[in-house]
Every structure is written in structure tokens, then in C-alpha cells.
Chains A and B, each alone.
Chain A
Amino acid sequence: MNFLHNLEVALNGLRANKMRSFLTMLGIIIGVAAVIIMISLGQGASKRITSQIASMGSNLLLVFPGAGQGPVRGASGNVNSLTLEDAEAIAGLSMVAHVAPELPASGTLSYGSQTWTARVVGTTPEMQVIKDWPVSAGSFFSGDDVRSAAMVAVLGKTVVDNLFLPGTNPVGSTIRINKLPFTVVGVLSAKGASMGGQDQDDVVYIPVSAAQKRLLGVNHVGLINVQAETPESMAFVQSSIESLLRERHRLTGSSSDDFSVRNLTSVLEAAENTTAIMTLLLASVAAVSLLVGGIGTMNIMLVSVTERTREIGLRMAVGATESNIRNQFLVEALVLCLIGGVMGIFVGIAGSRVISKAFGWPAYVTLSSILLSAGFSAAVGIFFGYYPARRAAGLDPIEALRFER
């Protein structure tokens, strides 16, 4: 009952001073919108990383040839140190779920008069399992194809788009890779861009044996993907691989590794943590602007209390208690902040979309960020409305009735 009255009085007050109310709300609107935009951009970034981890394969260890810390440094070392037999031996280790070697060979593709340059990767069918990558047509090549070094290929979506006319089914066609004929046995479903912005669909998978013998004439592989059974077993698997390969490569005592094992998932997880911290920082800065909006609200509420001193005195004279008066001004501050908050939510959602479109950053507006900022603006309303409301409630009715503007 009294709450409804307070609400009516509050709305009446806001209407009576439209411009002032709007300017006060603007502080809250900007604050709430900033919080939502910052959180949604942060969420977008972290979602992108999460999907990277998923698309790369979970619990994944990469074994690179050469000492050093990755493919770049490894390339300058002994690049021929890893073989298919190493991969098979790793597959025999405990807690290892899947192993897929990779031998990259960039190649010129042609079909009819169309040509295209793409990443050509020699691998095994396990690759599809590790990447959890379904085909949209045909099937991935088989273990038999690997054993027989069959001239077959599985194409990524981008390759299909660039070699074939729209609507044609490439399965069964023969394309040429560096002039050699390969029969298309499958087409992979679209996966999109990787974290580095690289098009993951711009790829051709062929049996690793065919890549070694027919395309490149080599015996090594470029790297080995190893999927551990569980996240917890990754450290164990990593050290098992290290000791296995040292043994297989006859490395003893102080001689250094001619390979390196990297846990890319943990690298990405670190990136995810960094993103989370960035999000938190940005949201805090945004929250400060909400705080400033709250101070603006307090200022206007104090003005409002002074302006309505006589009204307060009159209300007290006809029977309003201190808590009646206090609640009236609290509700008014709350209404101010909540209306600002709701408008801020809409501005925030729209702003996230616009920024996302304009800069190509992914943005995810989450329910939690909306609830958070709505709750925060309500808290701001109560916190900054409390002091002016207390001041109104503490007025002496006689003084208040005598008050001259």
C-alpha cells in the first residue's frame, strides 16, 4: 500500500523534472551499459578461446621434432627426428587415447581448370577423432588407405568452395595435388577460423604414407598429436612420451632431447585466464563509472530533499513517520537507478552488438552480466539514496513547514 504510494510519488517526481531525471539516469545508463559491454566482450574473447581448445582437441599434447620450445625453433633443429614408428610406439603408452602424426606439405590443388593453394597434411584417421571433426559428405580415409599409401584425400570446406562449382558433390572426383591424382573420399564440415585468424577449413588431409612416399619422398613426420585419456593424466603422458622417445632415439645421460612435447591446452588455458583477468579489470573500470553515476544520484536526491522540505513537513504533520519519509526517498532513488539500469541494459546490449560488428570482436551478452549490472544499479540506488533519505526523515516537521525556498 505505502509502497505503491511511494512509487507513484517517485514517478510523479521524476516526471516533474524530466530533464534532471534523465541526466541523473544517464550516469547510471552509461555505467550499466559499460559494465555489460565490457563483460560481453570479455566473454566473447574467452568463448573464442574455449572453442579453440575444443576444436584443437581436448587433452592434447603436441610432439615436435627438434629441441626447443615449438615448431618455429624446432624447425631450425633436427626436423627429421620423428617417425611414424615413434607415433605407433606412443600409441602403445598407457593413458594415451589417440595418436595422429602430421606431415605438412603445402601443395597446389587443381580440378579441371580451377587451381587453389592449400595446406596439405598427411595424417591418419585418428586425426578426425582427436579434432572431433565430422564429415559433411563421404567419409574420412581408413587405416587401410594409410597402410597402402592410397592416393585419396579428404577436403576442407574452403578447398571445396574454391575448386568445385557450388552444389556439386566432390566425393568420387579426382583432384590433383602437385600434379598427382588423388580421389576425394570425404568432405569435412565447416569449422571456421582459428584463434590466430587462420581458416581451419582451408586444408586437405591425405594418408601420411602417401604424403611421405608420393608427395615428399621422406620418412619423417612433422609432428605428432597425442590425446591423453583425461586432463589429469596429461603430465604423466607427457613424461612417458619424453622417456619413451629418449629411449627410442638413443639419447643417454646429458645429451639433450631432439624433440619437444608441448601442452597447447595449458597455453590456451593460460590465455583464457588472462582474458578473464582483463574482463574483470575492464568491468571494474566500468563499475567505477556506475559508482560515479550513483554519486550523481545522491547529489540529485539531496537537491530533491531540500526542494521538498515543506512537502516533507506537511507529510509528517498528517501522520507520516520517519520510516515513511525515508522509504519514500529510498524508493525514489531506487526507481531512478532501476529505470537507468534497465535503459543501460538495452544500451549495453545494443552497444555490444555495434562494437562486435564494427571491430569484428566476438561479444556475448550473458544473463549473468545483465543480472549483475541490474543488481549493482539497485545497490547503487539504495546505497546512495540512503543518506538523502535519512536526511529527509530526520527533518523536524515544524522547521520543515516553516522552510522558505
Chain B
Amino acid sequence: MAGKPAIVLENITKIYHMGETRVIALKGINLTVQEGEMVAIMGPSGSGKSTLLNILGCLDRPTGGTYYLGGEDVSRLNKNQLALVRNKKIGFVFQSFNLLGRFPVLANVQLPLVYAGVGKKEMEERAKEALDWVGMSRYVHHYPGQLSGGQQQRVAIARALVNDPSIILADEPTGALDSRTSIEIISVIQRLNMEKGITVVMVTHEKDIALYCRRLVNMRDGCILSDAPVENPGNASDDLAAIPEEMGVPA
């Protein structure tokens, strides 16, 4: 599946100024991610994982270095241009789901399309399609508060994929979930990567979750410590079938 690079980072630095002191969160990151890859980023707390993911997601600009997203230099874009890039090319999955509790599931999934200027009918069709894809089509009119954590994360994944992004960025997507539900969610993300060919970059601090990815990047103190392919990455769907359903409910 190796082809064009989806992401190229050249000597990316990020410095935070806090009054007198400077925090160097990223110290010259070089990283290339090919289209269709599924990469896990690990590292101790404070090593710069979130900072890196925010730059990858065009939520933040690097202090120095160049970031090519799908061949386009996005490291010097202004705020409006970044918003457009986020809307068209990037899907986010968060640890805490970040669904809007005031709105039903369908409206939550439609949100990226609202800012893409998609018409009402098409918006609904595409949101339903995405919800169907993550197995949540029965919950279109539910509110997030009525759903379990795993269900909410599925809705969030539907929202991330609804506008056909080229990459999906996930910051500890299983951090708030129990282990079985974590594997469920990873299986959805794996399907996203394999069936739709979407590039996935995922931050996690759980080694067994990282081993479902095909490449593992280790960070420490704002640097990449190691970057290697995962031997025999797990298949979450298979693993899920092996784990008995909780409460003895037959599979």
C-alpha cells in the first residue's frame, strides 16, 4: 500500500512561551507517513505526543520546520485556511468523544458537513451512511447522553469519517473505555484503515492497543526515540470474536 506520502514532517519544532520560561515541546521531528498507513505514537506523559498530533491536525502551527499534508505545505497557512484543511482532509477522534450533548446523534455526525457547505438532504444521507458504517444506524435520533462510552466513540468515529478525510487522528481513543470496548473501537479504526484506506495516526499509552497498528513511533522529551514496523499486528475483529461477550450474552 506504500505509495505517495500522506504526511511529511521536516524538522518540526514547537516552543511554548510561558512568561519568562520556554518549553520546547518538539525538538526537530522528522516523520513520513505513507497513505494508508496505521501508526501508533507512544511515549511517557509530557513527551510531546499531543503537541505533535495537534500540529498534524492543523489545530496548531509549528514554531519551525515544514509540514506537507498530501503534498501541500500547510505549516504557514492562516487560521481560515487551516480550518478549511481540517474540514476537508482531517478527522479527529478524542479520548473524551467530544459529542455535543444538546444535539441528537445525527446532528453531531453532520457537523463537519455543515461547515463544508453541504446541502441538507445530502448531509443527512451521508451522516446516516457513516452511522451505518460504524453500526450505529439504530441510534440516529438518540442523544449522546443515552449512549454507552463505546457507542459514543462509534458516533465520534462516524463524525470523523463523514467528510471523507484522508487522515484520521486519534488522541487516546480508548483511554476512557474498558478493555473489551477498547478492542471494539480499535476494530472499527482498523476497518477504517483497511476498508477505506484512510491513513490513521493514533496516540496511545497502552502497548497492547499500539500493537494493533502496523507501525510504532516512540517519543521522549520532544524527540522520536524509535520508529519501527510492528511485527504481526493484531486483528481486533478476530480478537474480539475470541473474547466472550460480557454478561454471558451469546454472540
Contacts and interface: CB of A to CB of B under 8 A. Distances in A.
A314 B100 contact: yes
Contacts of B59: 316-317, 397-398, 401
Interface string B54-74: 100101100000000000000
B102 A12 contact: yes
A128 interface: no
Q: Kindly name the residue among A311, A318, A398 whose own CB sees the greatest number of chain B CB atoms within 10 A.
A: A318
A309 to B, nearest CB: 12
B233 to A, nearest CB: 28
Given A2-B114, A5-B114, A321 B102 contact: no
Nearest to A323: B80
Contacts of A398: 54, 59-60
Given A13-B102, A311-B100, A398-B60, A318 B54 contact: no
B119 interface: yes
Interface string B183-199: 00000000000000000
Nearest to B115: A319
Given A317-B86, A319-B83, A397-B59, A310 B98 contact: yes
Interface in A10-27: 12-13, 16
A4 B120 CA distance: 10
**Chain B: number of interface residues, binned into ranges:** 20 to 34
Contacts of B102: 12-13, 16
Interface of B is mostly: helix
A322 B80 contact: yes
Interface residues of A, number: 24
A318 B87 contact: yes
A191 interface: no
A12 B103 contact: yes
Nearest to B80: A321
B92 interface: yes
Contacts of A321: 79-80, 83-84, 115
Contact of A315 (B80, B94, B111, B163): B111
A4 B128 CA distance: 20
B117 A401 contact: no
B240 interface: no
A319 B94 contact: no
Given A1-B117, A2-B117, A324-B115, A318 B86 contact: yes
A398 B159 CA distance: 18
Q: Kindly name the residue among A4, A16, A320 whose own CB sees the greatest number of chain B CB atoms within 10 A.
A: A320
B180 interface: no
B222 interface: no
B115 A318 contact: yes
A4 B163 CA distance: 20
B205 interface: no
Nearest to B159: A318
A398 B163 CA distance: 21
Contacts of A2: 114-115, 117
A311 B96 CA distance: 12
Contacts of B163: 319
Nearest to B118: A1
A1 B119 contact: yes
B112 interface: yes
B88 interface: yes
Nearest to B171: A401
Nearest to A402: B50
Contacts of A318: 86-87, 92, 111-112, 115, 159
A320 B115 CA distance: 6
Given A12-B102, A16-B102, A310-B98, A319 B92 contact: no
A317 B114 contact: no
A333 B98 CA distance: 25
B77 interface: no
A4 B114 CA distance: 10
Contacts of A317: 57, 59, 86, 92, 98
A319 B84 contact: yes
Q: Kindly name the residue among B86, B94, B98, B114 whose own CB sees the greatest number of chain A CB atoms within 10 A.
A: B114
Interface of A: 1-2, 4-5, 12-13, 16, 310-311, 313-324, 397-398, 401
21 contacts: A2-B114, A2-B117, A12-B102, A12-B103, A310-B98, A313-B98, A314-B98, A315-B111, A316-B59, A316-B86, A317-B57, A318-B87, A318-B115, A319-B88, A320-B83, A321-B79, A321-B80, A321-B115, A398-B54, A398-B60, A401-B98
The 5 closest A-B pairs by CB, nearest first: A319-B87, A319-B115, A318-B112, A321-B83, A314-B98
Given A12-B103, A319-B84, 10 more contacts: A1-B117, A1-B119, A2-B115, A315-B111, A316-B59, A318-B115, A319-B83, A319-B116, A322-B83, A401-B59
